[in-house]
Amino acid sequence: MRSKNFFLKKKLKIKDLYPKAKIKKNFLVDNITSLEEAKLNDISFFDKIDYKNFAENTKASFCITTKGLEKFLPKEVDRVVVNNVLFELSLILKKLYPSADVDFPDLSLNLAKTKNLKSVKFGNNVLIGKSVKIGKNTIIGSNTIIESKVEIGENCVIGSGCIIKSSIIGNRVMIQDNCKIGQKGFGFIPVKNKNMKFPHIGNVLIADDVEIASGCTIDRGSINHTIIGKNTYLDNQVHVAHNVKIGSNCMIAGQVGFAGSTTIGSNVSIGGQAGVSGHLKIGNNVKIGGGSGVVKNIEDNQIVMGYPAVPLKEFLKKNK
Amino acid sequence: MRSKNFFLKKKLKIKDLYPKAKIKKNFLVDNITSLEEAKLNDISFFDKIDYKNFAENTKASFCITTKGLEKFLPKEVDRVVVNNVLFELSLILKKLYPSADVDFPDLSLNLAKTKNLKSVKFGNNVLIGKSVKIGKNTIIGSNTIIESKVEIGENCVIGSGCIIKSSIIGNRVMIQDNCKIGQKGFGFIPVKNKNMKFPHIGNVLIADDVEIASGCTIDRGSINHTIIGKNTYLDNQVHVAHNVKIGSNCMIAGQVGFAGSTTIGSNVSIGGQAGVSGHLKIGNNVKIGGGSGVVKNIEDNQIVMGYPAVPLKEFLKKNK
Amino acid sequence: MRSKNFFLKKKLKIKDLYPKAKIKKNFLVDNITSLEEAKLNDISFFDKIDYKNFAENTKASFCITTKGLEKFLPKEVDRVVVNNVLFELSLILKKLYPSADVDFPDLSLNLAKTKNLKSVKFGNNVLIGKSVKIGKNTIIGSNTIIESKVEIGENCVIGSGCIIKSSIIGNRVMIQDNCKIGQKGFGFIPVKNKNMKFPHIGNVLIADDVEIASGCTIDRGSINHTIIGKNTYLDNQVHVAHNVKIGSNCMIAGQVGFAGSTTIGSNVSIGGQAGVSGHLKIGNNVKIGGGSGVVKNIEDNQIVMGYPAVPLKEFLKKNK
DSSP C224-270: S-EEE-TT-EE-TT-EE-TT-EE-SS-EE-TT-EE-TT-EE-SS-EE
Is B134 in the same domain as B204? Answer: yes
Share of chain A above pLDDT 70, in %: 99
**To the nearest whole angstrom, how far is the Cα of A166 from the nearest Cα of chain B?**
23
pLDDT in tens, chain A (320 residues): 899 999 999 999 999 999 998 899 899 999 999 999 999 999 999 999 999 999 999 999 999 999 999 999 999 999 999 999 999 999 999 999 999 999 999 999 999 987 778 799 999 999 999 999 999 999 999 999 999 999 999 999 999 999 999 999 999 999 999 999 999 999 999 998 899 999 999 999 999 999 999 999 999 999 999 999 999 999 999 999 999 999 999 999 999 999 999 999 999 999 999 999 999 999 999 999 999 999 999 999 999 999 999 999 999 999 88
* Closest Cα in chain A, distance from residue C138 (Å): 10
Residue of C nearest to B248 (CA): C193
Give me the pLDDT at residue B172, please.
98
User: What pLDDT is recorded for position B192?
Assistant: 85
Give CA–CA dist A130/A136, Å, rounded. Answer: 18
Does a structural domain hold residue C174? no
Q: Does the residue B92 lie in any domain?
A: yes
Q: What is the per-residue pLDDT across A13-42, written as a single tens digit (0 to 9) for each?
A: 999 999 998 899 899 999 999 999 999 999
Asked if A281 and A225 sit in the same domain, the reply is yes
Question: What is the percentage of chain C residues whose pLDDT exceeds 90?
Answer: 95
Query: Which among B102, B111, B239 has CB closest to A236?
Result: B239
Quick check: A292 and A314 in contact, CB under 8 A?
A: no
Has residue A125 been placed in a domain? yes
Q: List Cβ neighbours of C209 (8 Å cut-off, separation of 6 or more).
A: A193, A194, A195, C170, C171, C172, C173, C230, C231
Out of B111, B259, B307, whose CB is closest to A272?
Answer: B259
CB-based contact A21:A38 (threshold 8 Å): no
Q: Residue A180: list chain C partners with CB under 8 A.
A: 161, 176-178, 214-215, 236
Q: Name the neighbours of B, counting chains with at least 3 Cβ pairs within 8 A.
A: A, C
**Chain C residues in contact with chain A using a Cβ-Cβ cutoff of 8 Å:** 121-125, 139-143, 157-161, 174, 176-178, 209, 211, 213-215, 230-231, 233, 235-237, 248-249, 251, 253-255, 267, 271-273, 290-291, 306-307, 319
Q: Which of B42, B74, B96 is the last residue of a domain?
A: B96
When scoring A147, A183, A243, A280 by the number of chain C Cβ atoms within 10 A, the one with the most, hence best to mutate, is: A183
Asked if residue A288 and residue A146 are part of one domain, the reply reads yes
Domain count for chain B, please give it: 2
| Structural domain for B18, as ranges | 14-96
A72 within some domain: yes
* Chain C residue with minimum CA distance to B125: C125
Q: C68: how many CB neighbours lie within 10 A of its CB? A: 9
For residues B134 and B149, the answer to whether their CB atoms sit within 8 Å is no
Statement to judge: residues A80 and A116 lie in one domain: no
**Domain edge (last residue) among B96, B127, B142:** B96
Please report, for residues A44, A46, A80, A87, A236, the alpha-carbon distance to residue A83 in angstroms, rounded to integers and kept in the order given. 16, 12, 10, 9, 42
A54 and A147: one domain? no
Question: Are A73 and A198 in the same domain?
Answer: no
Q: Per the CB < 8 Å rule, is C193 touching B209?
A: yes
With respect to residue B8, please indicate whether it lies within any of the assigned structural domains.
no
Residues A74, A127 share a domain? no
Closest residue in chain C to residue A310, using alpha carbons only = C319
Quick one: what percent of chain A has pLDDT higher than 90? 95
Q: Do A237 and B241 touch (CB under 8 A)?
A: no
Chain A residues touching chain C at CB-CB below 8 Å: 102-107, 109-111, 125, 127, 143, 145, 161, 163, 178, 180, 183-184, 186, 188, 190, 192-195, 197, 215, 217, 219, 237, 239, 241, 255, 257, 259, 273, 275, 277, 293, 295, 307-308
Question: Does some domain include residue C39?
Answer: yes
Nearest chain A residue to B189 by CA distance is: A251
Q: Which of C237, C236, C271 is nearest to C251 (CA)?
A: C271
Q: Of the residues B200, B239, B242, B279, which is catalytic?
A: B242
Any chains having at least 3 CB pairs less than 8 A from chain C are A, B
Q: Do C254 and A239 touch (CB under 8 A)?
A: yes
**What pLDDT sits at residue A181?**
98
Q: C123, A106: Cβ pair inside 8 Å?
A: yes
Instruction: Catalogue the active-site residues of A.
Output: 242
Report if residue A1 sits inside a domain.
no
Q: Is residue B3 part of a domain?
A: no
Q: Across chain B, what does the average pLDDT equal?
A: 96
A174 and A298 share one domain: yes
Q: Report the side by side order of strands in the sheet with B174-175.
A: B121-122, B139-140, B157-158, B174-175, B211-212, B233-234, B251-252, B269-270, B287-288, B303-305, B310-311
CA distances from C282 to A219, B218, B320, C203, C261 (A): 29, 33, 20, 22, 12
Give the nearest chain A residue to B161 (CA atoms): A161
Q: Identify whether residues B166 and B47 lie together within a single domain.
A: no
Residue C223 confidence (pLDDT): 95
**Is C279 a residue of the active site?**
no
The CATH number that applies at residue A250 is: 2.160.10.10
Dihedral in degrees, nearest 10, Cα atoms C266, C268, C273, C276: -60
pLDDT tens-digit series, residues C145-175:
999 999 999 999 999 999 999 999 999 999 9
| Burial of residue C295 (number of CB atoms within 10 Å: 0-12, 13-18, 19+) | buried
Residue B116 has pLDDT above 80, yes or no: no
The pLDDT assigned to A320 comes to 80
pTM higher than 0.90 for the full model? yes
Number of CB pairs, chain A paired with chain B, less than 8 A apart: 141
- CATH value at residue C89: 3.40.1390.10
Q: Are residues A160 and A247 in the same domain?
A: yes
Chain B residue numbers with beta carbons less than 8 Å from the beta carbon of A291 are 275, 293, 307
What's the gap in Å between the CA of C187 and the closest CA on chain A? Answer: 24
Residue-wise pLDDT for B163-193, tens only, equals 999 999 999 999 999 999 999 999 999 998 8
Shared domain check, B116 and B84: no
Are A125 and A216 part of one and the same domain?
yes
